[in-house]
Structure 1
């Protein structure tokens, strides 16, 4: 298959994936604090020109706008952008919402003082392309800030749990939680950044009492989990096996209250 055709098909698949379920519920109820974490660590200040890549419903973008920055929130999925606009209107904050592929950003070289991505760019299929774009649109001396789930944290292990139940990705597509590995991210950014800081932290999540409760919530709301189950069709044995594997993962995490979802924050200056 022609590479351009394959890329377009993959883009359409990802756009549809994140329109499944209700990601806004997850953004509001579970991961809302992460946007402010990234804005704080990146040092966004009034007057900064900020781009939030793969912004989703805008947790980081809205936090940056509330800090006084001029913000563009970009995402591949129009539904998430529409929901972000609604949230921003409710909070009486203004920013620009743009549909954009993280691997082909429609912005000029060096256009922004800070380029952020909060559990977003990690899901772009081609990691080096996405990293190159983050760097390209950031001005020399500007800030790059990325927050991602780690491979060995809870969400990373959720993806590992679902992996045997989904079709293998096309050649060249990398696993999202690799963005939560210091060595992987530093390799992507290379010598184009300086003053690099990395830190692993945990997001406390106290919304669930049992593994089954977590599983049903993600089956209803989280695009990748919904897609995994849809791919199983009517295979009851495989569905039951995935149910059991997710329950086991969540029940293990719930032995420590609250659950803790590990993430990596990487902040650097563009050379």
Structure 2
């Protein structure tokens, strides 16, 4: 973590509860950060405020992608580094978001699907000629903390923002809730590469790095 190495780090998120969780984890590790509530489409920072701007499966959930990309570049100094980690459309989380779409309320006008940030050519187009040295690499993270697909579903049902929202939207319809329960457990089951007694999944993400042009 850059903060543990002595960097001056500001963490920003739209959701106060996530900032609170981040504070607790930072305190446990001894990291010192500044915390700022803010919208990825209107970051509360000045132009060229940072040497490095990072997003880890965060900015991809801002509904208007070009506006969010413009903000990432705006707050990065010329020659500064940009790093964005996003779930891919074809990876597990991309497929999970697609599985939840039929149960979700209509998105805001003009909203774009989050997994598009996992397409390197799409992100290159968002950055345009304002970024150079663009590098994109698909990687996977092994998720092996859930004993069963149902345990995965129940954990995300209670703790993951997009899943919580979809369940909340269907709370008055037990049949749809049961159907969503089955769909998420079945999705995890089809991606399970573990042996009996453990659920092991490989979730694909895109790591894209670049530098802001001068």
TM-score by length of 2: 0.94
CA contact (8 A) 2:63 2:108 kept: no
Structure 2 residue 34 is the aligned partner of structure 1 residue 92: no
Which residue in the other structure is 1:21 paired with?
none
SS in 1 for 2:43: coil
Which residue in the other structure is 1:48 paired with?
none
User: Counting strand residues as a fraction of each chain, which structure ranks higher?
Assistant: 2
CA RMSD of aligned residues (A): 1.2
* Cα distance change on mapping 1:89 and 1:255 into 2, 3 Å: closer
Q: Which moved more, 1:214-223 or 1:157-166?
A: 214-223
CA offset at residue 255 of structure 1? 3.3
CA offset at residue 64 of structure 1? 1.6
Which residue in the other structure is 1:130 paired with?
68
Residues 162-189 of structure 1: per-residue CA shift (max 9 Å, x gap): 0001112122111111111111111110
CA offset at residue 83 of structure 1? 2.2
* Displacement over 3 Å in runs of 4+: none
SS in 2 for 1:152: coil
* Equivalent residues in 2 for 1:1-150, closer than 5 Å: 63-150=1-88
Which residue in the other structure is 2:132 paired with?
194
Taking the aligned partners of 1:254 and 1:64, their CA distance within structure 2 comes to 33
CA contact (8 A) 2:4 2:30 kept: no
CA offset at residue 107 of structure 1? 1.1
Which residue in the other structure is 1:264 paired with?
206
CA offset at residue 256 of structure 1? 4.8
CA offset at residue 94 of structure 1? 1.2
Residues 191-242 of structure 1: per-residue CA shift (max 9 Å, x gap): 1001110000000010123221111111111121111111112312211211
CA contact (8 A) 1:150 1:264 kept: yes
TM-score by length of 1: 0.74
Taking the aligned partners of 1:111 and 1:227, their CA distance within structure 2 comes to 33
* Equivalent residues in 2 for 1:133-212, closer than 5 Å: 133-212=71-150
Higher relative contact order (CA 8 A, sep 6+): 2
CA contact (8 A) 2:83 2:209 kept: yes
Structure 2 residue 126 is the aligned partner of structure 1 residue 215: no
Residues 126-155 of structure 1: per-residue CA shift (max 9 Å, x gap): 111110000001111100100000011001
- Structure 1: runs of 5 or more not aligned: 1-62
SS in 2 for 1:66: helix
SS in 2 for 1:207: strand
How many aligned positions are there?
209
